[in-house]
């Protein structure tokens, strides 16, 4: 279940992040970020299983891909921001 | 038509280029502006080209910024680095894309001159000019008038020693010669997509190793609530709808170039240039030297360059006459006021086209 969302500031950074995660063996989807997790308006998110979230953030950090926020989508459809 | 005006734009492209343009026109919406399939296709098309370019030039994808042409890229670079009254050192071969922009910015232009085809003398002249300090240094990689190659790696090292930002205009070299902004230590490197890179007109690339200031302001499909332009590359330079069909074509061209043996292409172009130099035996005056790409200035005896080019055009040969938007280069070369006739090759020029050109030349001289 792709319930972890790592928001990025532009589609290019999202695409680069997707490539970086792919090379690290982490599958993700690049999508427009839902409004609830994009308070600045118009953002993109890398969506991946929650179990991969922490590793994915570390991989992106090492590759210099800035993550604006980390979110989990709850079963009720709401989002909770993770403080790391 | 025998097309030998490739320094203006390459007319013959790999067939994949027009196919990619057409496919993008049919299938791509606005990248970064929607979550639907057509927008996603546009995003992937743009990113594919960005990534190919990043591999081509040894940078990260976000350091590849799409522009409309080299002129726009140079405007961004110079407007970022230069303020009114700043001393800017530049080669005496620069194009109006540089000199008009600097003049418009109110900079103090310090053109460096040297014998056109003597790379060592160019490096010495730059060292002398830069020793007095500068806010910025601009140099082309290859002259659009004379085809001379300038020692941008040495000039970049001189700038780095003095902490002077370095801007390279790679308009005539990109696609043919290695363009290496990391090695050159260039803050910005600008190029068109439609010359040696073989992409469509209306495309260009600015390679950014420093943070640029935006030239255009507007929507980027990101951080929309913020009324300041995003600082992130490439968004900070790509406000408004991108030329997706053009970028798709440029991507196809880069893909084609990547599959070629570029050393062989260069060797082939040198061979063609060598054949063109038979002009001298026909009585033409040539500007030529050891470090030269396939761009040649010449004049036929007792003929005005414009008249010469018009006569070639009537015989089915496309050349360019006059000042080539580079009066400074003609001043340095001593070819003002009439300028020269310029012949310029591409990697897709055929030997038979050179033979035809020489044959037309003979008939014009009768």
Task: Return per-residue pLDDT of chain B as tens, 366 residues.
Answer: 999 999 999 999 999 999 999 999 999 999 987 789 999 999 999 999 999 999 999 999 999 999 999 999 999 999 999 999 999 999 999 999 999 999 999 999 999 999 999 999 999 999 999 999 999 999 999 999 999 999 999 999 999 999 999 999 999 999 999 999 999 999 999 999 999 999 999 999 999 999 999 999 999 988 888 999 999 999 999 999 999 999 999 999 999 999 999 999 999 999 999 999 999 999 999 999 999 999 999 999 999 999 999 999 999 999 999 999 999 999 999 999 999 999 999 999 999 999 999 999 999 998
Q: In whole angstroms, what is the distance from residue B175 CA to residue B173 CA? A: 6
Kindly report whether the peptide bond that precedes residue B75 is cis, defined as omega within 30 degrees of 0.
no
Question: Closest chain A residue to B61 measured between Cα atoms?
Answer: A16
Residues B318 and B195 both lie in one domain: no
Where does residue B337 rank: exposed (0-12), middle (13-18), buried (19+ CB within 10 A)? exposed
Residues B74 and B91 both lie in one domain: yes
Which domains, and CATH codes, for chain A? Answer: 9-67 (3.30.70)
Q: What is the CB neighbour count within 10 angstroms for residue B272?
A: 20
Question: Closest chain B residue to A32 measured between Cα atoms?
Answer: B35
Q: In whole angstroms, what is the distance from residue B300 CA to residue B283 CA? A: 7
As a dihedral over the C-alpha atoms of residue B328, residue B331, residue B337, residue B342, rounded to 10 degrees, the angle is -70
Contacts of B85 (CB under 8 A, 6+ apart): B106, B107, B108
Residues B220 and B312 both lie in one domain: no
Q: What is the CB neighbour count within 10 angstroms for residue B26?
A: 9
Q: What is the CB neighbour count within 10 angstroms for residue B20?
A: 26
Nearest to B156 by CA among B196, B122, B113, B132: B122
Q: How far is B31 from chain A (nearest CA, A)?
A: 8
Q: Residue B192 in contact with residue B200, Cβ under 8 Å?
A: no
User: Where does a domain end: B223, B258, B293?
Assistant: B258
Tokens matching residue B296: 């040649």
Residues B207 and B338 both lie in one domain: no
Q: Residue B16 in contact with residue B200, Cβ under 8 Å?
A: no
Residues B31 and B121 both lie in one domain: yes
Residues B233 and B292 both lie in one domain: no
Give contacts of B226 with chain A, Cβ < 8 Å.
40-41
Say how many Å lie between the first and final Cα of chain B, rounded: 22
Tokens matching residue B137: 């240094």
Question: Closest chain B residue to A63 measured between Cα atoms?
Answer: B60
Question: Closest chain A residue to B222 measured between Cα atoms?
Answer: A42
Say how far residue A67 (Cα) sits from the centre of its chain. 7
Tokens matching residue B72: 């726009």
Contacts of B317 (CB under 8 A, 6+ apart): B1, B2, B4, B356, B357, B360
- What SS3 class is residue B299? strand
CATH at residue B177? 3.40.640.10
Chain A interface mutation, best of B50, B54, B222, highest count of A Cβ atoms under 10 Å = B222
Say how far residue A27 (Cα) sits from the centre of its chain. 11
CB contact under 8 A, B50 and A12: yes
**pLDDT of B298-324, one tens digit each?**
999 999 999 999 999 999 999 999 999
Domain that residue B147 falls in = 15-258
Residues B25 and B7 both lie in one domain: no
Q: How far is A54 from chain B (nearest CA, A)?
A: 24
Q: How far is B60 from chain A (nearest CA, A)?
A: 9
Give contacts of B242 with chain A, Cβ < 8 Å.
none
A11, A40, A64: residue with CB nearest B221 = A11
Checking B256-263 for CB contacts under 8 A at 24+ apart, the result is B256/B14, B256/B16, B256/B17, B256/B198, B257/B56, B257/B175, B257/B197, B257/B198, B258/B52, B258/B55, B258/B56, B260/B347, B262/B176, B262/B178
Give contacts of B230 with chain A, Cβ < 8 Å.
9-10
CB contact under 8 A, A12 and B61: yes
CATH at residue B266? 3.90.1150.10
CB contact under 8 A, A11 and B35: no
- What SS3 class is residue B105? coil
- Structural domain count, chain B: 2
Chain A interface mutation, best of B44, B49, B64, B223, highest count of A Cβ atoms under 10 Å = B223
**pLDDT of A3-44, one tens digit each?**
999 999 899 999 999 999 999 999 999 999 999 999 888 889
CB contact under 8 A, B61 and A31: no
Chain B interface mutation, best of A7, A9, A12, A69, highest count of B Cβ atoms under 10 Å = A12
DSSP A34: P
CB contact under 8 A, A10 and B32: yes
- What SS3 class is residue B340? strand
- pTM for the whole structure: 0.96
pLDDT score, position B366 = 87
DSSP B211: P
Beta strands in B275-358 (DSSP E): 285-287, 295-299, 317-318, 320-322, 340-344
Q: Which residues of B touch A (CB under 8 A)?
A: 31-32, 34-35, 43-44, 47, 50-51, 60-62, 220-226, 230, 232, 234-235
Residues B227 and B333 both lie in one domain: no
What are phi and psi for residue B340, nearest 5 degrees?
-140, 175
Contacts of B151 (CB under 8 A, 6+ apart): B119, B120, B122, B123
User: Where does a domain end: B258, B276, B291?
Assistant: B258
Confidence of residue A84 (pLDDT cuts 50, 70, 90): low
The sign of the CA dihedral B51, B57, B58, B64 is negative
What are phi and psi for residue A5, nearest 5 degrees?
-125, 120
A13, A39, A42: residue with CB nearest B232 = A13
- What SS3 class is residue A6? strand
Residues B123 and B161 both lie in one domain: yes
Question: Closest chain B residue to A30 measured between Cα atoms?
Answer: B40
B50, B61, B222: residue with CB nearest A43 = B222
Q: What is the CB neighbour count within 10 angstroms for residue B31?
A: 24
Contacts of B329 (CB under 8 A, 6+ apart): B92, B93, B94, B95, B143, B144, B145, B146
Residues B220 and B272 both lie in one domain: no
Give contacts of B65 with chain A, Cβ < 8 Å.
none
Q: Residue B23 in contact with residue B12, Cβ under 8 Å?
A: no
Question: Closest chain B residue to A37 measured between Cα atoms?
Answer: B223
Q: How many CB pairs under 8 A join A and B?
A: 56
CB contact under 8 A, B35 and A31: yes
User: Where does a domain end: B237, B258, B279?
Assistant: B258
Residues B283 and B232 both lie in one domain: no
Residues B212 and B320 both lie in one domain: no
């Amino acid at each position: 279940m792709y319930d972890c969302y790592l928001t990025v500031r532009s589609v290019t950074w999202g695409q680069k992040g997707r490539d970086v995660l792919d090379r690290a063996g982490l599958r993700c989807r690049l999508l427009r970020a839902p409004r609830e997790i994009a308070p600045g308006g118009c953002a993109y998110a890398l969506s991946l299983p929650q179990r991969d979230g922490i590793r994915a953030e570390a991989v992106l950090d090492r590759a210099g891909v800035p993550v604006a926020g980390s979110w989990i989508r709850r079963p009720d459809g709401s989002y909770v921001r993770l403080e790391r | 038509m025998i097309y030998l005006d490739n320094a203006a734009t390459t007319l013959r492209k790999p067939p994949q280029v027009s196919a990619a343009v057409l496919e993008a026109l049919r299938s791509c919406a606005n990248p970064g502006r929607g979550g639907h399939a057509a927008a996603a296709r546009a995003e992937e098309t743009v990113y594919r080209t960005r990534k190919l370019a990043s591999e081509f030039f040894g940078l990260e994808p976000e350091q590849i910024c799409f522009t409309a042409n080299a002129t726009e890229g140079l405007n961004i670079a110079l407007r970022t680095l230069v303020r009114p009254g700043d001393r800017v050192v530049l080669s005496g071969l620069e194009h109006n894309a540089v000199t008009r922009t600097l003049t418009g910015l109110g900079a103090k232009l310090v053109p460096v001159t040297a014998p056109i085809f003597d790379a060592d003398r160019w490096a010495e002249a730059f060292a002398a000019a830069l020793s007095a300090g500068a806010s910025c240094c601009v140099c082309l990689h290859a002259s659009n008038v004379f085809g001379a190659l300038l020692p941008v790696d040495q000039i970049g090292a001189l700038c780095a020693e003095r902490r002077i930002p370095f801007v390279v205009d790679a308009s005539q070299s990109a696609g043919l010669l290695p363009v290496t902004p990391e090695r050159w230590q260039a803050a910005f490197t600008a190029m068109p997509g439609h010359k040696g890179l073989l992409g469509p007109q209306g495309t260009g690339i600015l390679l950014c190793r420093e943070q640029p200031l935006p030239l255009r302001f507007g929507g980027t499909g990101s951080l929309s609530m913020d009324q300041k332009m995003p600082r992130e590359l490439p968004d900070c330079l790509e406000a408004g709808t991108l030329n997706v069909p053009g970028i798709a074509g440029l991507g196809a061209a880069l893909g084609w170039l990547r599959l070629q043996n570029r050393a062989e292409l260069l060797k082939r172009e040198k061979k063609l240039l060598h054949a063109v130099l038979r002009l001298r035996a026909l009585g033409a005056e040539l500007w030529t030297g050891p470090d030269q790409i396939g761009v040649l200035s010449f004049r036929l005896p007792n003929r005005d360059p414009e008249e010469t080019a018009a006569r070639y055009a009537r015989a089915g040969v496309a050349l360019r006459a006059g000042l080539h938007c580079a009066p400074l280069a003609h001043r340095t070369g001593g070819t003002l006021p009439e300028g020269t006739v310029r012949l310029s090759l591409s990697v897709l020029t055929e030997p038979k086209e050179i033979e035809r050109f020489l044959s037309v030349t003979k008939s014009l001289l009768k």
